[in-house]
Amino acid sequence: MARYVFGADVGGTTVKIGLLTETGEKVEFWEIPTVTEDHGSRIIPDIAASIRAKMKERKIEDTEVVGAGVGVPGAVNSDGMCYQAVNLGWEKISVVNELHSALKLPVKAGNDANVAALGEAWKGGGQGYNNLLLVTLGTGVGGGIIIDGKILSGSKGSGGEIGHIHLVDDEPEKCGCGKHGCFEMYASATGAVRLARRVLAMYDEPSVLREKEYECRDIFDAAKNGDNMARMAAEQYGYYLGKGIAAVATVTNPEIIVLGGGVSKAGDMLFDLLMPSFKKYAFSGCAEAKFALAKLGNDAGVYGAAKLLIG
């Protein structure tokens, strides 16, 4: 008798849901809309209904299902208590209790970035590693820390919020969190653009970046093509990325560090860019960590949410 597990990754516009075998083979992934009206009160019932409909469609009995895991874009502790999820309209809510009431199956929940890290450790770029750090390089910098195979959630679910480690003292601009000089002000996609803007303002040298509105990937493409201004921006990006990761690695001593998110499409060049400052700033006992690229893309959260149920 096949045994199944469901994973749901709740985003601001859609919920990705996956049906997997308990060994992590993908059976079917689909999406439903995230209804944020009325303080997001329909989100959990909608997930439960969608899972129940899929079980009915595929004639899957309750006894064949290990349970359902959920990743949420907010602070969630290891008991599945969500303290706030602004994009969903949620205040404090026990995701585990609410979904369990609606679904009548075993339920677990976690923060989406943390759950994605668990997914990458299960079936992605960090497959087979029990101590992993996932660094998600997107509009911001997110993180997920896996210790002995479990998510580091922290007391109020803010564990792994590595984007807001303080890196730079004299930063004049303000981070989205209200502070100055956070890691994600430099190591995110918008951070790369910020660094390029500053390089271009400081020097007169010509650059393809002066010819158009550019975004993060244009900087890395131009750097690969030998554009000197872009190369300087990319090197600064790597400097801050390595420095921030070094701080996290010194605290948590991961075996492998996995880079995900849109910026990670720049590929292996990121490792060359970050390694000098990573080696310079990481404690020697932690500096031998492996590096890898994430493999699961937007599916990482679904895999990880399912993995919450699998010991």
Touching a second copy, residues 277-296 (CB under 8 A): 280-281, 283-286, 288-289
> Is residue 160 involved in binding a second copy (CB under 8 A)?
yes
Helix (H) or strand (E) holding 308: none
Given candidates 154, 176, 262, 297, which one binds a second copy under the rule CB under 8 A?
Answer: 154
Given candidates 11, 27, 253, 297, which one binds a second copy under the rule CB under 8 A?
Answer: 253
Phi, psi (5° rounding) for residue 56?
Answer: -65, -50
Span near a second copy by CB under 8 A; candidates 23-31, 94-102, 126-134, 224-232: 126-134
CB 121 within 8 A of CB 130: yes
Q: Give the three-class secondary structure for 136.
A: strand
Considering the complex, what minimum distance in angstroms separates the CB of residue 190 from a second copy? 18
Query: What spatial distance separates the first Cα and last Cα of the chain, rounded to whole Å?
Result: 19
- The neighbouring-strand residues paired with 135 are 143, 259
Nearest to 128 by CA among 283, 260, 3, 292: 292
Closer by beta carbon to a second copy, 175 or else 216: 175
Nearest to 5 by CA among 136, 157, 118, 132: 118
Residue 150: burial class (beta carbons within 10 Å; 0-12, 13-18, 19+): middle
Given candidates 252, 266, 273, 294, which one binds a second copy under the rule CB under 8 A?
Answer: 252
Considering the complex, what minimum distance in angstroms separates the CB of residue 201 from a second copy? 22
CB 278 within 8 A of CB 286: no
Touching a second copy, residues 190-249 (CB under 8 A): 243, 246-248
> Is residue 162 involved in binding a second copy (CB under 8 A)?
yes
Given candidates 156, 197, 198, 210, which one binds a second copy under the rule CB under 8 A?
Answer: 156
Given the rule CB under 8 A, which residues bind a second copy?
A: 75, 78, 83, 129-131, 143, 145, 147-148, 150, 152-162, 164-166, 177-179, 243, 246-248, 250-255, 280-281, 283-286, 288-289
